[in-house]
Structures are given as C-alpha cells and as structure tokens.
Amino acid sequence: MRDYPEKTCAEFFAGIGLMRMGLELAGWRISFANDIDEAKWRMYRDQFGEDGEFLLGDIHEIDAAVVPGVVLATASFPCNDLSLAGARKGLDGAHSGAFWGFVEVLERVPRKPPMVLLENVPGFLTSRRGNDFRSALLALNRLGYTVDAFIIDAVHFVPQSRARLFVVGTMTQGDFAVKEAAAFYESECRPAALAHFVFWHGDIRWNLRELPPLPRARQRLEKIIEKFPPESSIWWNRERCDYLLGQMSEKHREKADEMIRSDRISYATAFRRVRFGKSMAELRTDGIAGCLRTPRGGSGRQILVVAGRGSFAARLLSPRECARLMGADDFVINAPFNQALFGFGDAVCVPVIEWIGTNYLNPVWEREFAHGRRSQHANRT
C-alpha cells in the first residue's frame, strides 16, 4: 500500500483558481491544473504566477502520463447542460459531457488518486430524471471509488445565495446498507431530494460520512460594497435607472419605493428575468446577493441597487465585489470587466471549499491514506 504523506491535488476545470484557493487554505498543495479557457488561465496566472503546473487545453486531449501522482483530483466541470438555464442535455451535452473526459483521465493515469471531488449545480441531481447523476456515480464506482454527496449553500459563509452539489469519491470500502426510510439520510447538507436519491439507488456503492453543522454567516451585502464616488461612470444615468424601475412588477416596485422613502441608505440586488414573454427586473432586499452567474448576453450580470433618503442609484456589481462574494477578497484582478465577471460567476466559493477540505477531505486523508491505511478493498494504483 502506498503512503501519501503530502496533501497533493490535481484540479481539472480549474477556471480562475478558486478551488485551489480554498484547498490551499485547508493545507493542500496543487501539483497540476487544467482548463481549456485561455482567458480564465490568464486570470489564474495573474493570481498564482506561472510555475508550470497549469496545462491549458481540452481535457479530452490530455496525455495522462503528464498528470502527477496526487492524493486528490477535483473536477468543477461545466454546468451548462445540467442547469435549469441550459438546454438540459445532461452529460451527453457538448459542455457538461466534459465530465467523461475527466473519467477517461482517471482511467489512464499511471496512479489513480485515492480521492476525487466533483462540484456542480444542484440540477445535476435531477438532470434527466436523475439518470445523469446515477451514471456519474456508477462511473466512479467502476474506477474503484465509493461515493458520498452533499449540498452546501455559500450563504453560510458569504452574503450570496449559491447552492452547489458536491461528490466525494474515496478508494475505501464503505459500510453502506439501505435503511428503512429515506428520511434516515436527511441532514443539513443532504436535503430530502438527495436523501431520496440515496435511498432509491442501492446499486450505487455509497460511503456516507457525517458532517458537522455549517456556520451561520453574519456578513451582509453592504459589507462587500466598493465605495465609488457619485460622479463615477460606473453608476447608471437617471434614464437607465428609471428604465430599471419601470421593469419591476408592482410587488418589486413597492420594495424599491420603500427603500427610497427610508431615512437610511440600504442595498439590494436585482436580476433581469424573462417573465410572461417580457424582461422583468426582480429585486432582492434581504441583504443577500443572488447567485453570481456568467454574463452571457448580459442577462447574467447582477445589478446593485442603492437607495434611501429619497434617492435611487444602480450599477452592475463590480469585479471586486464579485470576488468578495466568492470569498476571494484579495484576488488579483487585471482582466476586463466582463471577463472578470465571467471568471467569478463560473467559479467555486473559496470558504466553502476550505470548509470541505478541513471537515471532510483532511480527516479522510489522515485516517485512510496519510500512512498507508488504505482499505483492502481499495483499487491498487
């Protein structure tokens, strides 16, 4: 059995590197990174430097021999075909189907990592009636991994509503046995839909681990706001602000008017969404930003609203504010405005990854792999 004295990681679909930031905070070292997007690679390089661990290119074309032996492989593969906003082509889609490229790399590497971590949108669980999720987990089973799954919302760490589904695969036997009711599996990180999936899929080799309670975030939207002077060009002109107000339904316009009449300045966010065939602006006033998205066609760009004492102002969230909403407060940002928004909107939340690293990955590594204590059922590498 091989010892793994260092917590080393290969990150696939690395994006701008927020997975790396979170894992490094939990004591992991990135030995290899890969992504196909050159613009994201430039942001990654600006943050971490260019020391040779990043391979730019299509995952389907990676020579597995260049992937070093590591403890952990991560894959934040594209969600385009799994999300409600996409065409729901699932793992057969041109984007989300890149997951199979990750599987192929794991099949070909000289030494399989004893742990893997997948990240994607909650829609992965229900994509094509759950068949995509089942296929992915069975693929990991065939590679020798028992699997666990949980959902964490970034709102526990930052003022952003951003639920994500995580899968951890480990080369250990596990002790899964189907219980009498799906509710047995329910917990803070495993809501009813996921618990039911576990219950009804006893053909999957599970290895569910208990997770500690998630933290209760105290930070609110106003704490991450950049202070731009009123004359800054980032603020929208009056005509554009009035147009935004005019796009609101009666309910949301009442919320905006309440903010304007207040004797204190308050903050909210807004998204434009198509409702009944027309573009509508929907306001969120609970101190939490909506989920950051990639600004394809402009519809995914989140709007900041500042109002009170008879005034109303609006602008797009800035790249620095997006970085703060992802827990990457000091990220080096040299990219153009829209590219920066795209990079952060398509990334993981840093403190969520740090929490998973500290509370899940580290204990498993220490117990199972740091000193060669791998299960006799593990797939030898």
Domains for the chain: give ranges and CATH numbers.
Answer: 8-217+347-369 (3.40.50.150), 227-317 (no CATH)
Each residue's pLDDT tens digit, 45-90: 999 998 778 999 999 999 999 999 999 999 998 776 566 555 556 6
Q: Whole-angstrom Cα distance, residue 95 to residue 360?
A: 29
Q: Whole-angstrom Cα distance, residue 145 to residue 216?
A: 32
Helix or strand (DSSP H, E) at 44:
helix 38-48
Q: Whole-angstrom Cα distance, residue 252 to residue 202?
A: 45
Q: Whole-angstrom Cα distance, residue 242 to residue 62?
A: 51
Alpha helices in 66-191 (DSSP H): 99-108, 123-126, 131-142
Tell me the torsion sign for CA atoms 274, 275, 279, 283.
Answer: negative
Angle at 282 (CA atoms; ends 342, 315), nearest 5 degrees: 55
SS3 (DSSP) at 300: coil
Q: Write out residues in the chain with pLDDT < 50, as ranges.
A: 1, 297-298, 373-381
Burial 269-286 (b: 16+ CB within 10 A, else e): bbbbeeeeeeeebbbbbe
Q: Whole-angstrom Cα distance, residue 182 to residue 185?
A: 6
What was the pLDDT predicted at 273? 85
As given in the structure block, the two tokens for residue 16 are 């701008």
As given in the structure block, the two tokens for residue 82 are 């799994």
Q: Whole-angstrom Cα distance, residue 8 to residue 3?
A: 12
Assess contact for 169 and 230: CB atoms under 8 A: no
SS3 (DSSP) at 98: helix
What was the pLDDT predicted at 378? 43
What was the pLDDT predicted at 381? 43
Each residue's pLDDT tens digit, 323-354: 999 999 999 999 999 999 999 999 999 999 99
Helix or strand (DSSP H, E) at 153:
strand 146-153
